[in-house]
Structure 1
């Protein structure tokens, strides 16, 4: 068996609104979009840089809008402050403010308007895995 691709598929109440939000907040481009006979989005693939994810309309229970669900989507960007501002401008909310972290990253956690948690980060230091482990253990005893 060979794994060919893995990407998250986000179930949302309004896939077209989510597509617009992700295009504005993350610079995502719509790669493909398919609907059922009544016009509901059954699959829309998005790409921003090398990140790929999908959205679909659905009746499934979305994650709570203010708290992390079972999954946190990690997105590395050039400017986490600018991306966080775009998320907030588009109706998202802050879970954890963007700040500098001792393990060599600047980032924060935000919820998009559809209830999904995103960790928006940039690597700020060229730390080794051992240095990251040491700093993490010291920061979070």
Structure 2
């Protein structure tokens, strides 16, 4: 694969609409600890690094933010410490929808809505659990 400094390195990059991209980026950096990577068009689009992944905050266009009580997507991000991450997000006004909880599949997770209503699940691995132990089926062990 040819590297390109203009594009994030991640294989999958969610693009989320925000009514005010610069304000959203400032909030995502403060609340979630994301790192601003690249600005495009004076605030039209911004690439953000989140751990080993990437996300793009974009002016709406054809995309729209969720309406009240509506879920249009959810993005999952791995973090080192779910509890500390949740406390940071809450301190910056994030709406915590599900408190940090341990799950039988070996993850501790919490769910939050950002300032535009996008849903995020932050996850921390707590144990290496075989999928069959909690009802999953591993289809491709190489994937």
The partner residue of 2:16 within 10, 16, 19 is 10
The partner residue of 2:132 within 121, 130, 133 is 130
In structure 1, the residue matched to 2:83 is 81
Q: State the TM-score, normalizing by the size of structure 1.
A: 0.79
Q: CA deviation at 1:49?
A: 2.0
Aligned length: 126
Q: 1:12 to 1:78 in 2, by over 3 A?
A: same
Structure 1, unaligned runs of 5 or more: 135-141
Q: Name the SS for the 1:133 alignment partner.
A: coil
Alpha-carbon deviations, 1:22-57, whole Å to 9, x = none? 21223222111112xxx5x22110102211000022
Q: CA RMSD in A?
A: 2.0
Structure 2, unaligned runs of 5 or more: 1-9, 137-143
Which segment drifts farther, 82-91 or 54-63? 54-63
In structure 2, the residue matched to 1:43 is 45
In structure 1, the residue matched to 2:118 is 116
Q: State the TM-score, normalizing by the size of structure 2.
A: 0.78
In structure 1, the residue matched to 2:66 is 63
In the TM superposition, structure 1's runs of 4+ consecutive aligned residues that sit over 4 Å from their partners are none
Greater share of helix? 1
